Amino acid sequence: MNCKGAEILINSLKKQGVDTIFGYPGGVVLPIYDVLYDSDVRHILTRHEQGAAHAADGYARATGKTGVCIATSGPGATNLVTGIATANMDSIPVVFFTGQVASHLIGRDAFQEADITGITLPITKHNYLVERTEDVERVVKEAFYIARTNRPGPVVVDLPKDIMDKFIDYTPDDSEAYIQSYRVMKGFNAGQVINAAELIKQAQRPVIYAGGGVIISDAAEELRELAEKRKIPVTTTLMGMGAFPGNNYLSLGMLGMHGTRYANYAVSESDLLIAVGVRFDDRVTGKIEAFAPHAKIIHIDIDAAEIGKNVAVDIPIVGQVKEVLHAINQRLEVVEEMSEWHQAIDRWKLEYPLRYPASIEGRIMPQHVIESIYDLTQGDAIITTEVGQHQMWTAQYYKFKNPRSFITSGGLGTMGYGFPAAIGAKIACPDKTVIDIAGDGSIQMNIQELGTAMQYKVPVIVCILNNQYLGMVRQWQGLFYKGRYSNTDISLQPDFVKVAEAYGAVGLRVTETDQVKDALREAMKVDDRPVFIDFVVEREADVFPMVAPGEPLLNMMGGDE
């Protein structure tokens, strides 16, 4: 069969089961877009390449499938960089295809040339520059294989224009990807599983510390079995939200810098920490030497390099979280009670619940908006966020019930992530209510994606908690820089209702606490376009409790009265 490179590319994508691509055309990807013109693969045209990157990432997080994104060379490719780094830090499988100038021009500073494989080397799981049309099918296969297996992550495939244009005699190759230097991790150390089960049986004050790896490994059920069998309290990281139901009596909510007091107390007092699919991030551990000081640590993760990276552990188990938990569960019997430990935790829960000040001079408290969203959706929506105060309040006050229902940039902390990610998630899951909880700062970083949501009739709801500040930075300036609010006041801002309306979307403004739920209900009725709700909230609300950076988890500020 005589085929050109771009045809082989799209054909190879179809064989990977790709049904949706997020992208933005340009000069050197014209051959690819010409093939897409009459292909049945759906292409979602965003309004900025960064939007395409985050949308593909949101699509991947909502479904567990590998996201796909295309951009042109040079600025198109460099505009993806934040999106690639975001996916990399959170271990999200996305394959990014970038156009490249024609082979004979590479290295000559040609128009719109950028060394994107060089640029993305440290922020991808792997990347490729395709040098021959004959390699296109194999590279696509390998890229998807690498992106989705073991610890997932982004892969960049750079495609010079002439490689896409060239015709070759093509015979489809349906064999599996084979890479001599890359093997899919199978099995685990059975001896360590026995040791882990023994430690769990002996523990008096165990805590499970669960992260994004549980969700990636599809192990929420196994985690729940372990917790419920042995009555072990569970705290999750930001990335682990939804790995364990937030309304379960064993749930401690989030731990770490903005974790609950009872989660941080429980970890600090525990005699056994079962760390599952986590990487002991500084936002979780606080001062590392003082983290879980009395605990033996079991660390289960697919990535051997995470073992011992930040803390020394007693029992490392490298393997698929799902398989390892299943094996551990099989060695454990049900216990009825853990009364002393649970009594201590219940006391902390009673004494230090999450709380926030009552409304100040009648203004809406941002936490109240999130509680209202929870009341109306009962944990059944997909929630995305931007980055900052609203993100932490969401983690605190929305009780996530299911895996893949919380989509947020945890590792990189990318403002402007939530709106395009919500569009990607809604396109992947059209039957779910999808809500982006945003700040007035973050939403302005990718607000142009209103155009995308309008074009494809994507009814996502954007709840802007508008305090006219870059709120988290302002909070730190208040706490650590004597209240000198340097460059965090953004009260000069557009009328978000009118911005939405200018695009043809629905815009609502809420200024009174008793209108919050009505506005949300109204927004949920809209099914053919995005809705912006501008919640005008208390300007100087802070996220508490809080552990200052570098402090031990026990040194918590706020949230105790």
Partner 1 sequence: MKHTLAVTVDNQPGVLTRVATMFRRRGFNIDSLTVGATENPSISRMTIVVQGDDQIIEQVTKQLYKLVNVIKIVDVTHERTVERELVLIKVKADTSVRTEVMQIVEIFRARIVDIGKNNLIIEVTGDSGKIDAIEEALRPFGIAELVRTGKIAMLRGCRG
Residue 118 vs 550, nearer CB to partner 1: 118
CA-only gyration radius of the chain, Å: 24
Residue number with CB closer to partner 1 (146 or 423): 146
For residue 402, give both structure tokens.
Answer: 């299911």
**Which of 181/487 has CB closer to partner 1?**
181
* Closest distance to partner 1 from the beta carbon of 470 (Å): 29
Amino acid at 305: A
Tell me the closest approach of the beta carbon of residue 183 to partner 1, in angstroms. Answer: 10
Indicate whether 118 belongs to the interface with partner 1 (CB under 8 A): yes
The one catalytic residue in 49, 222, 269, 538 is 49
Reported as half-sphere exposure (CB side, CA atoms, 13 A), residue 244 has a value of: 29
The least distance separating partner 1 from the CB of residue 180, rounded to whole angstroms, comes to 7
Q: Is 493 a catalytic residue?
A: no
Beta bridge partners of residue 274, listed in sequence order:
208, 298
Helices (H), 378-515: 389-397, 418-428, 450-455, 471-480, 496-502
Length of the chain: 561
Judge whether 49 counts as a catalytic residue: yes
Q: Which two tokens stand for residue 187?
A: 């099995």
Of 177 and 497, CB closest to partner 1: 177
Is residue 188 part of the annotated active site? The answer reads no
Which amino acid belongs to residue 184?
V
Q: Where are the beta strands (DSSP E) in 377-443?
A: 382-385, 406-407, 434-439
- Kindly tell me the burial class for residue 375, based on how many C-beta atoms sit within 10 Å of its own C-beta (0-12, 13-18, 19 or more): exposed
Whether 557 is catalytic:
no
- CB neighbourhood size of 362 (10 A): 9
Pick 175 or 180: Cβ nearer partner 1: 180
- 557 near partner 1 (CB under 8 A): no
CA distance 517 to 174: 53
CB of 386 to partner 1, least distance (A): 27
Tokens 């009825």, residue? Answer: 336
Of the candidates 4, 47, 48, 126, which one interacts with partner 1 according to CB under 8 A? 126
Q: Respond yes or no: is residue 112 known to be catalytic.
A: yes
Find tokens 């100040």 and name the residue. Answer: 360
Minimum CB distance to partner 1 smaller for 311 or for 526: 311
Q: Of 304-343, which residues contact partner 1 (CB under 8 A)?
A: 304-305, 307-309
Residue 537: beta bridge partners? 364
Query: For residue 198, how many other CB atoms are within 10 A of its CB?
Result: 13
* Least CB distance to partner 1 at residue 285 (A): 17
146 sits near partner 1 (criterion: CB under 8 A): yes
DSSP code at position 27: G
Nearer to partner 1, 248 or 310 (CB): 310
Q: Which of 4, 141, 161, 166 is catalytic?
A: 161
Least CB distance to partner 1 at residue 105 (A): 17
Q: Dihedrals φ, ψ of 291, to 5°?
A: -85, 125
270-309 binders of partner 1 (CB under 8 A)? 303-305, 307-309
Which x/- pattern over 88-117 shows residues binding partner 1 (rule: CB under 8 A)? -----------------------------x
User: Alpha helices of 207-338 — where are they, by DSSP H?
Assistant: 212-216, 220-230, 261-269, 282-285, 321-330
Residue 291 has which token pair?
A: 């983290």
Residues in the interface with partner 1 (CB under 8 A) total 18
**Least distance CB 363 / partner 1 (angstroms):** 45
Regarding 125 and contact with partner 1 (CB under 8 A), the answer is yes
Residues with a catalytic annotation lie at 49, 111-112, 161, 472
Residues that bind partner 1 (CB under 8 A): 117-118, 121-122, 125-126, 129, 146, 179-182, 303-305, 307-309
